Amino acid sequence: MGREELSQVALSSEDESMAVVGDPPEKGDLLEGSAIDMPGEKVAGEEKGFPTMETMLRPPSHLPQPEAPPGFSRVPSTGGEDYHPVERSLSLTSSTAMDMSSIGKFFRERGNSLSAAIAKRISLLTESEDDLAKSVTEFHLSGLKVVVRLKDGDEEDESTGDGDYGDIKGRISFFSRSGCRDCGAVRSFLRSKALPFVEINVDVFPEREKELIDRTGSAAVPAIFFNERLVGGLVALNSLRNSGEFERRLREMACRRCPDNAPRVPVYGFDDDEEEKILEDAMVGTVRVLRQRLPIQDRITKMKLVKNCFSGGDMVEVLIRHLDCGRQKAVEIGKELGRRHFIHHVFRDNDFEDSNSQFYRFLEHDPSIPKCFNFRGATNDEEPKPAVVIGQRLTKLMSAILESYASEDRRRLDYARIGASEEFRRYTNMVQDLQRVDLFSLSVEERTAFFLNLYNAMVIHANVRLGRPAAAAGPIDRRSFFNDFQYVVGGYPYSLSTIKDGILRSNRRSPYSFVRPLSSSDRRLELVLPKVNPLVHFGLCNGVRSSPSVRFFSTQGVELELRHAAREFFSGGGMDVDLEKRVVHLTRIIKWYSADFGQDREALQWVMGYLDASKTGLLSHLMSDGSPVHIIYQNFDWSLNC
């Protein structure tokens, strides 16, 4: 084969491959001499009526012959007299050739139809009545979903609450305090109108109180602002409502954005500057030296293995060398460290002694302390705050949580929102101050309010952190909940059961238990209330639906507030009288804690002092005629109060 023939073979092979994968060649694109007639050979398709077509030149017989890819067959294309035939790939299952120009025409026509349909639908929306246009926000075409979003300028003002204020671009904000009735009235009014507002609680954000005074000239709350303009308190708000000025001002705010000099939105996740000024305990330097130099190890005493402890004698020696003081001075320092709850005896049954047979440990080395939920890897070495101050701070934060994330009757709580709130974050930081607080200086009323509030706060904390507990049939199944969730308070671990049965119930056994919460050698016995007050049961919320509503108490009026809580509980379904059947339906709390309320008629006599007039008359009639009175204890719903 000559050089010219080889050249022609290469050119023809290149043209054939280009024709298979590309578009049909235009007139004059084929190279001259790339196809020749093959006399005596019929072209495929000629017998079926196709016109005779030119045949592509193939390689010589001794060279490999090109074959069609598997699954494909070659079908000739037809055209006019000037059309150059090209072989195209076609699916073996098809019966006709694929025409690229037809495909393009199909997509163009389909696109034009789709565009016309969309334009027609949108034109119908713009030409239809306003109410119909507003009701149509999306429509569907074949294989396509179209969502219609109206521009801000085209939307009419939406009704909010009882008025028609539109989209408010400004900001309504007001300063408040926890437990303030006027603040609650303002909050309820704004919620009833479905108006967005920003509440700045100066009990939660104490750093904002100075701003309140600067803007209003006093610390009085509520202080309501429309953008940067001071409206006043609840009286001023009521005056605006009665005169119709309130609606006019809201419409002004609908078109005016909030300026920069308006009260700013509280920043979440950051503590104020005052709280960052930490006052370390005066003895922290000495404690740090002792933590490094004392030989802390496991020891055996009283036939028990105690871990991470040191002897009193070793501590005295280290203090003498470090402080260059006498032995008596070192012993006094050791006792002071015990009073400040930096150290304690391994069995917590005696004060510090200069002895090699008495062993002590640091608070953080107690095996039960790291399990407490207000302990974060290390003890709080700040100067302990007074217990009354911490109790007041706890009450303010938890009251703010209830005002924002609880139902009006405080029987339902939104634990998910509580856990994500700034109030709860600040609360969990604050309860670390309880680790070394001095509780023994509290009066009886102060102790009652402190432990009532601490119990209710711990229940909320437990439900947020541990999640929804499984529905239980009774207190036995919830025993782990009441015993395992603990805080370290004043150097001691406190569970819910310890607070309720040990402190508030004067160290009485809980239902279905055979031991008292506090042993005879436990120093916390000095904190128990001198006598049992059955009213405490109606001030404690266990976080379940049949429990009394959650509340927090003040130190001065705790007894009156407990009486009010009991009356509210019995009027809300805790007690009912069926005069005809001579049956009293009573809360199961009375049965479980019969040791506090008394048995049968004695318990009914106690309950009678906290009923409304109608129930008191019915119960008095049943108990005075001498006939038997039947008591049926209500089912207790242990599901979460959310």
Stronger pLDDT, 450 or 48, i.e. the higher one = 450
What tokens appear for 167 in the block?
Answer: 């989209």
- pLDDT value at position 448? 97
Whether 599 maps to a domain, the answer reads yes
**Mean pLDDT along residues 374-385:** 89
300 and 216, same structural domain? no
Same domain, 482 and 500: yes
Instruction: Print the SS3 string covering 418-480.
Output: HHCCHHHHHHHHHHHHHCCCCCCCCCHHHHHHHHHHHHHHHHHHHHHHHCCCCCCCCCCCCHH
Q: Average pLDDT in the 310-315 region?
A: 96
What pLDDT score does 270 carry?
77
226 and 304 both lie in a single domain: no
Residue 306 lies in a domain: yes
What local confidence, expressed as pLDDT, does residue 51 receive? 46
pLDDT bin (cut points 50, 70, 90) of residue 120 is low
446 and 484 in one domain?
A: yes
Q: Are residues 595 and 549 in the same domain?
A: no
Q: pLDDT tens-digit profile of 161-180?
A: 445 555 678 899 999 999 99
Is pLDDT at 148 greater than 60 in this prediction? no
Number of H helices, E strands in the chain: 22, 19
pLDDT confidence bin for 128, thresholds 50/70/90: very low
Averaged pLDDT score across all residues of the chain: 81
DSSP annotation string for 590-625: HHHTHHHH-STHHHHHHHHTTS-HHHHHHHHHHHHS
Asked if the structure places residue 398 within a domain, the reply is yes
Predicted confidence (pLDDT) per residue in 413-443, tens digit: 999 999 999 999 999 999 999 999 999 999 9
The domain that holds 227 is classified in CATH as 3.40.30.10
Assign residue 345 the CATH number of its domain.
1.10.10.10
Residue 480 lies in a domain: yes
Final residue of a structural domain among 239, 255, 271 = 255
pLDDT confidence band for 288 (50 / 70 / 90) = very high
Residue 397 inside a domain? The answer is: yes
Domain count, the chain: 4
Q: For the whole model, what pTM was predicted?
A: 0.73
pLDDT at 371 (0 to 100): 92
**Position 57 confidence tier, pLDDT thresholds 50, 70, 90:** low
Residues 394 and 531 in one domain: yes
- Identify whether 462 is part of a domain: yes
**Claim to verify: residue 467 and residue 499 sit in the same structural domain:** yes
402 & 538 share domain: yes
Domain carrying residue 336: 283-367
Tell me which DSSP letter residue 264 carries: P
Residue 205 lies inside a defined structural domain of this protein: yes
pLDDT at 570: 95
3-state secondary structure 514-581: CCCCCCCCCHHHHHCCCCCCHHHHHCCCCCECCCCCCCCCCCCCHHHHHHHHHHHHHHHHHEEEECCC
* Chosen domain end from 526, 561, 596: 561
> Tens digit of pLDDT for each residue in 551-603?
999 998 999 999 999 999 999 989 999 988 999 999 999 999 999 999 988 99
My answer on whether 423 and 535 are in the same domain is yes
Of 561, 587, 607, the one marking the end of a domain is 561
Residue 184 has pLDDT above 50, yes or no: yes
Q: Are residues 178 and 290 in the same domain?
A: no
Does 319 lie in the same domain as 180?
no
Tell me whether residue 70 is in a domain.
Answer: no
For the segment 197-229, what is each residue's pLDDT rounded down to a tens digit?
999 999 999 999 999 999 999 999 999 999 999
Give the pLDDT confidence of 479-522 residue by residue, as tens digits: 788 999 999 999 999 999 999 999 999 999 998 888 999 999 89
485 and 576 fall within a common domain: no
DSSP letters, 66-126, are P-PPTTEEEEE----TTPPP-EEEEETT-SS---HHHHHHHHHHHHHHHHHHHHHHHHHHH
